[in-house]
Amino acid sequence: MFWIQCVPALWKASWSKLDEREKAMEEAIELLKFMEDELKDKFFGGETVGLVDIAGNFIAHWFPALQEVMGLEILTEEKFPKICQWSRDFVNHSVVKENLPPRDKLIAFFRTCLENGSSSTY
């Protein structure tokens, strides 16, 4: 499953030292391109949230907050319009939304990790 490769690549692209970040970002972008091509419907499972969508919640909810804190531009509307729309649809789904941590708390968490120099707190 592409999530298994994509999530660690995004994490590495976010937390790598500057000299390693570019290569990690390229790897993450290639994996996101694959995801973009695979997304045919509103969700990966069709018109309703399925297991594949749930497995991708890091990309839908956690990574956009991390990307904001780190000042990265990996997952953007211009590069990945279908993934970005999927992300919005997923995190705003009534059942999913009530079970995700609030975005402001995620941002605070990642800022604390950044300030402490720790990517392994998570």
pLDDT tens sequence for the chain (122 residues)? 566 788 889 989 998 888 888 899 999 999 999 999 989 999 988 999 999 899 889 999 999 999 999 999 999 999 999 999 999 999 999 999 999 999 999 999 999 999 987 665 44
3-state secondary structure (DSSP) of residue 35? helix
- Asked whether residue 107 is assigned to any structural domain, the reply reads yes
pTM of model > 0.75: yes
Show the tokens assigned to 76: 């953007």
**CATH code for position 52:** 1.20.1050.10
Range of the domain at 61: 2-116
Structural element, H or E, at residue 99: none
Q: How many domains does the chain have?
A: 1
Does some domain include residue 122? no
**CA-CA-CA-CA dihedral for 76, 80, 83, 85, to nearest 10:** 70
**Structure-block tokens of residue 39:** 């997304």
CA distances from 41 to 14, 33, 44, 86 (A): 28, 16, 6, 9
